[in-house]
A and B are shown apart, each in its own frame.
Chain A
Amino acid sequence: MLQRIWAVMQKQFIQTLRDRRTLMVIIALPVLMLFLMGYAVEIQVDHIRTVVVDHSRDQRSWSFIEALENSGFFDVMYYVESQDEAIQAIDEGQARAAVVIPPDFLGAVERGEAQALVIIDGSDAMTVQSAYNAAITVAESYSVDLLARKLERSQPGAHGAALQPLDGRIRVLYNPDMKAIIFMVPGIVATILQNQATSLTAFSIVKEREAGTIEQLLVTPIRPLELMIGKLVPNVVVAFVNMLTILGLGVFWFKVPFSGNIWLFLWMALLFIVSSLGLGILVSTVSSTQAQAQQLVLMILIPSLVLSGYIFPREMMPKLVRFAGDLIPMTYFLQISRGIITRGVGLRLIWSQVVSLLIYALVVFGLSASSFKQRLE
């Protein structure tokens, strides 16, 4: 019996070692995952881009702002004149947080009734978490600090000093209750679209090639381009319907607010599907079996989830890793998706991502040009 087990083992080893492609995937995939986890995954977000509205511009307000900056979580970029401007900066994606300090901060602190408002971009779960916690922590510690100084200078209880001289208010934009589903929906939509468009496309092409029936079709007047379009359009329709279902459920059942223009969103979704289709065709040009195509699609899916900014913030990733994320269409669409659904912005503010998707589609279709050849080789 042992000999037979040995015989099968020996054969299996030989076969595995000879299958270069699978070997590469087996060795490369865990390494890839580890690097992804190591560099891309970061729960905490720091150096959040912040704008400041300072109606006091006195020593106290400056020291509070300094405290926020020193925490490492907030990077003050510039000052604006009003709260509305601050919110607009967040809408436009220029900043992820804003600090609003009312007038006479100094006086209010002395009286023990100061207030400060921190506004946070609510479209991104991680940012919200970090900024929220950071803001509260800084405000509280600043409070404690103020108290300590007061106690140094006077007797306890002399002023009936409020135990919390600084009341830090946090306001989360777009998703005030910080409901997970609101974070998730734009991301789920993007994931579904990319995954379905890519895998359905890759499989349907590779399957035809595996069965060898493409040859028969090439000798009819059907042109390769026509064949592609005819094959792919049903997939597009399926993916679209799926997306609408998810979106519908999200909006009407889970009450996810859809703040932007639905038509703009649908057009963008179409553009995204086309890019993902192109990616699928590219996968099919390098796969000769459905199993290979499946492996490749998996190798695209996992980094897509990690690198696109769906779960983990891109700002925290080192440059090289962020560049890897630039190679995935989902990265761009996610920003578009969050922009339109959660923040309600228009084309003006997402045009760079749109252009990126267009370029992506062109590049990918260009690379797959070999699939549109009239001949077998």
Chain B
Amino acid sequence: MSQGDVVVVERLSKRFGGFTAVDEVSFSVARGDVFGFLGPNGAGKTTVIRMLLGLLQPTSGCARVLGYELPRQAKIMHGHVGYMSQIFTLYDDLTARENIRFYGQALGLQRGELRRRMEEILTMAGLKGRENELTAQLSGGWRQRLALGCAIIHRPELVFLDEPTAGVDPVSRREFWRLIYELAHRNTTVFVTTHYMDEAEHCQRLGFISQGKLVALGSPEELKATVMHGKVLEIDCDDAERAAQVLRRSVELGEFLAEEVALYGARVHVVAADEDSARPVMAALLAKAGVQVRTIDTIPPSLEDAFISSIRQQNSGGILT
């Protein structure tokens, strides 16, 4: 934790009655970083963001955003951060322009500045010429850019993005991430939650959250190196499904050791502690089952491999910090 940290969270917890939604989560975010929060729905991502925005009172622990203590100084902090949630930000019965104007006014922009920023946001979102259409008529990619625009109209130092690219076409997703990178370039800190693993690859630092706990924290490279307990072997063959079934059964029977056997696209990924001994065993098993194997390569683990590995470890009792 250094002076330049815009978000500092220490042992933050939230309990609702008997249910612990967030369990002693600690992390920090450095200025200008793109920080990703990964995890499935219901893991506690939204609850953490709400506490960071001062919308929920933590049960224990503390959180500071831009130096302001939460939730006590939340109102002051609101003028300096932006928040975008694709579902909740935009008013469908207002036009694009009306939405931008509302947020601009709400965030304290005055006449000249307001007008200027409105035009800038419309341009950034590519909505010039469409600004008087009802927001309900805009489709996925446009909506997210508009929502982002509404969140940053006041040039905040920190922006929270809650699942900003859900369901959107891949071209728009890429364009959106280009915008995020431009923001980060200008020293805006970006805090993004997602359950797209591939998006996570492009954050400077990541937190994996599952069942309310932070199961891993670090840069993508760090996570891939430290979280995995074995190497990932990729099998390219002619019948991936059969191969997976055969290998899974042999692991169950104890014929060789592997942490995970999974279908990955049209290939099979096997996570094994000892790749050198696993390789020939698998080749033999598959040959016996009549599966034609083209290659068995060791490949660098993806974040999804790392995430799944950490969740499995959490479920079996060992928790990483």
Contact = CB atoms under 8 A, between A and B. Distances in A.
Do A and B interact?
yes
B91 interface: yes
A11 B93 CA distance: 10
B91 A7 contact: no
Contact of A4 (B91, B93, B98, B106): B106
Interface string A1-30: 001101110110011001100000000000
Contacts of B101: 7, 10
A4 B105 contact: yes
B102 interface: yes
A52 B101 CA distance: 77
The majority secondary structure among interface residues of chain A is helix
Contacts of A14: 93-94, 98
A6 B105 contact: yes
A7 B93 contact: no
Interface in B99-117: 101-102, 105-106, 108, 110
A6 B110 CA distance: 12
Contacts of B93: 14-15, 18-19
Interface of B: 91, 93-94, 98, 101-102, 105-106, 108, 110
A7 B98 contact: no
B36 to A, nearest CB: 31
Nearest to A6: B105
B108 to A, nearest CB: 7
A18 B102 CA distance: 16
**Top-9 shortest CB links A-B:** A7-B105, A11-B102, A7-B106, A18-B93, A15-B93, A7-B102, A4-B106, A3-B105, A14-B94
Nearest to B104: A7
Given A3-B110, A14-B94, A15-B93, 4 more contacts: A7-B106, A8-B106, A14-B98, A18-B93
Nearest to A10: B102
Interface residues of A, number: 11
Nearest to A18: B93
A66 B101 CA distance: 76
A10 B103 CA distance: 12
Nearest to A16: B93
A11 B108 contact: no
Nearest to B114: A3
A10 B94 CA distance: 11
23 contacts: A3-B105, A3-B108, A3-B110, A4-B105, A4-B106, A4-B108, A6-B105, A7-B101, A7-B102, A8-B102, A8-B106, A10-B101, A10-B105, A11-B91, A11-B94, A11-B98, A14-B93, A14-B94, A14-B98, A15-B91, A15-B93, A15-B94, A19-B93
A11 B108 CA distance: 15
B105 to A, nearest CB: 3
A15 B94 CA distance: 7
Contacts of A4: 105-106, 108
A125 B93 CA distance: 50
A7 B100 CA distance: 11
Nearest to B109: A3
A19 B134 CA distance: 13
Contacts of A18: 93
A7 B110 CA distance: 11
A3 B108 CA distance: 8
A121 to B, nearest CB: 54
A277 B186 CA distance: 62
Nearest to B95: A14
A18 B92 CA distance: 11
B118 to A, nearest CB: 13
A296 to B, nearest CB: 21
A6 B108 CA distance: 11
Nearest to A17: B93
Nearest to A8: B106
A15 B135 CA distance: 12
B76 to A, nearest CB: 14
Point out which of B91, B106, B110 has the most chain A C-beta atoms below 10 A from its C-beta.
Answer: B106
Contacts of A3: 105, 108, 110
A11 B91 CA distance: 9
A5 to B, nearest CB: 10
Contacts of B91: 11, 15
A11 B98 CA distance: 8
Contacts of A10: 101-102, 105
A15 B105 CA distance: 17
Nearest to B102: A11
A376 B94 CA distance: 29
A10 B105 CA distance: 10
A212 to B, nearest CB: 16
B138 to A, nearest CB: 16
Contacts of A6: 105
A19 B91 CA distance: 13
Contacts of B98: 11, 14
A29 to B, nearest CB: 21
A129 B35 CA distance: 78
Nearest to A4: B106
Point out which of A4, A8, A11, A19 has the most chain B C-beta atoms below 10 A from its C-beta.
Answer: A11
B124 to A, nearest CB: 21
B143 to A, nearest CB: 18
Nearest to B111: A3
A3 B94 CA distance: 19
Point out which of B91, B101, B105 has the most chain A C-beta atoms below 10 A from its C-beta.
Answer: B105
Contacts of B106: 4, 7-8
A4 to B, nearest CB: 6
A6 B114 CA distance: 14
A19 B102 CA distance: 18
A359 B286 CA distance: 75
Contacts of A8: 102, 106
A8 B105 CA distance: 9
B99 to A, nearest CB: 9
A93 B98 CA distance: 63
Interface in A14-58: 14-15, 18-19
B95 to A, nearest CB: 9
